[in-house]
């Protein structure tokens, strides 16, 4: 838990970042964020347990910034906001997105050994090194309701099925030589994600 003083400072930091975005937009006619400050407020909203504001912020980032795939921690925070706001189907979808962005962070979160998988990993945040620095843990008391639900979801058939299919596609992609088959494998994440959204009635 943060103190009232700490919460005030965090809110001021969020405000500072938003004002920087506004200044850049006024100066250049569009938002620029080369330093990826866009991902900072999400973690800050979670720290002060402002789940609704955090959810609205993350949705804003998705609408406004289309130049970069969000890192796993941002997607994970988003799933927490959704869960805390009672949007369970959407929270499941966001957890699958988190897993697709880094298949190791769930092991890190639950304190399990991280075992490298020999598969394609293009972005820096897909690697085991990123997972080992993941800043959230199942031991956090403020996340207790989420942790209980998440642990059950991770062991569910529908998550295990989509996770296994995704990992297989990434392993196969690394060794596939046929261009046509490789193209199918490369886009497997999109197809699997769309199937999972449909299963959860999420657009």
The model's pLDDT over 29-63, given as tens digits with 9 standing for 90+, comes to: 667 777 889 999 999 999 999 999 999 999 999 99
Decide: pTM greater than 0.85. yes
Residue 104 and residue 119: Cα distance in Å, rounded?
12
For residue 164, pLDDT beyond 90: yes
The whole domain housing 98 covers 70-203
Based on the fold, state whether residues 179 and 91 are members of the same structural domain.
Answer: yes
Contact 121, 72 (CB under 8 A): no
Report the domain count for the chain: 2
pLDDT at 30: 65
- Band of the pLDDT at 27, cuts 50, 70, 90? low
Stated as kind and residue range, the H or E segment containing 58 is: helix 51-64
Residue 10 and residue 6: Cα distance in Å, rounded?
6
Residue 133 and residue 57: Cα distance in Å, rounded?
24
Based on the fold, state whether residues 141 and 75 are members of the same structural domain.
Answer: yes
Q: Using one digit for the tens of pLDDT, what is the confidence trace for 54-92?
A: 999 999 999 988 878 899 999 999 999 999 999 999 999
Based on the fold, state whether residues 15 and 107 are members of the same structural domain.
Answer: no
pLDDT at 9: 97
Based on the fold, state whether residues 34 and 82 are members of the same structural domain.
Answer: no
Q: Using one digit for the tens of pLDDT, what is the confidence trace for 98-136?
A: 999 999 999 999 999 999 999 999 889 999 999 999 999
Q: 52, 68, 84: which is the final residue of a domain?
A: 68
Contact 14, 41 (CB under 8 A): yes
Based on the fold, state whether residues 129 and 171 are members of the same structural domain.
Answer: yes
Based on the fold, state whether residues 103 and 163 are members of the same structural domain.
Answer: yes
């Amino acid at each position: 838990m943060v103190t009232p003083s700490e919460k005030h400072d965090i809110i001021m930091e969020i405000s500072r970042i938003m004002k920087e975005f506004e200044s850049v937009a006024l100066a250049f006619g569009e938002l620029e964020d080369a330093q990826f400050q866009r991902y900072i407020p999400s973690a800050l909203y979670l720290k002060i347990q402002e789940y609704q504001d955090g959810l609205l912020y993350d949705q804003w980032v998705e609408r406004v910034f289309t130049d970069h795939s969000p890192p796993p921690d941002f997607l994970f925070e988003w799933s927490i906001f959704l869960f805390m706001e009672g949007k369970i189907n959407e929270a499941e979808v966001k957890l699958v997105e988190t897993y697709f962005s880094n298949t190791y962070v769930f092991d890190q979160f639950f304190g399990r050994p991280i075992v490298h998988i020999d598969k394609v990993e293009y972005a820096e945040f897909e690697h085991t090194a990123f997972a080992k620095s993941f800043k959230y843990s199942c031991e956090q008391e403020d996340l207790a309701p989420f942790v209980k639900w998440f642990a059950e979801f991770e062991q569910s058939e529908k998550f295990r099925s989509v996770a296994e299919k995704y990992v297989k596609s990434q392993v196969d992609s690394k060794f596939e030589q046929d261009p046509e088959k490789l193209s199918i494998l490369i886009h497997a994440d999109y197809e699997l994600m769309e199937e999972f959204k449909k299963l959860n009635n999420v657009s």
